Amino acid sequence: MPGHTDNEIVIAAPVGLVWEITNDLENWPQLFSEYAAVEVLEREGELTTFRLTMHPDENGTVWSWVSERETDRHGLAVRARRVEPGPFEFMDIRWEYTELPDGTRMRWIQDFAMKPTAPVDDAAMTNHINRNSRTQLELIRAKVEKRTGRA
């Protein structure tokens, strides 16, 4: 059974600001604690192909991959997928933004499957993504709310 995660957070900031900050790919190394670099490879309309490089893991391994990301500003949604899946059979991600009276709900939904040769199975990766998503969402909330003066 493939892996599936669904994590969300409410950010005390207008949806337009949350959208702008979280979809500024070149700024992701300052927004996320896990990314060391982002290299935009191609932009065509709302579709961006880019390389993400992580900081070294506990074993000193630097993970890097190419993804595609298509934004839908009107629909307040983003679809992304890994083009170079690495240890994944596939990795599909959906970001959803919902305007609320007191801010913005940002939701990340990830569907994936690990290759049989991957160092972890689907269940272990699900646990890892859930833990890490909560950490990253909290960091993003703090950084966005700081920009609004609400933190």
Report the side by side order of strands in the sheet with 77-82.
Answer: 3-11, 103-114, 88-100, 77-82, 64-72, 47-54, 35-44
**Which pLDDT band, with edges at 50, 70 and 90, does 145 fall under?**
very high
State mean pLDDT over 105-110: 98
pLDDT value at residue 117:
92
pLDDT value at residue 149:
78
Torsion of CA 51, 55, 116, 91, to 10 degrees: -40
Going by the DSSP 8-state scheme, the letter that residue 90 receives in this structure is: E
Mean pLDDT of the chain: 95
* Distances 130 to 27, 40, 45, 77, 90 between C-alpha atoms, Å: 23, 26, 31, 20, 17
pLDDT value at residue 126:
97
Q: Where are the domains of the chain?
A: 3-30+72-148
- pLDDT, tens digit, for every residue of 48-76? 999 999 999 888 889 899 999 999 999 99
Return the structure tokens found at 103. 């801010």
Architecture of domain 3-30+72-148: 2-Layer Sandwich (3.30)
- pLDDT, tens digit, for every residue of 123-137? 999 999 999 999 999
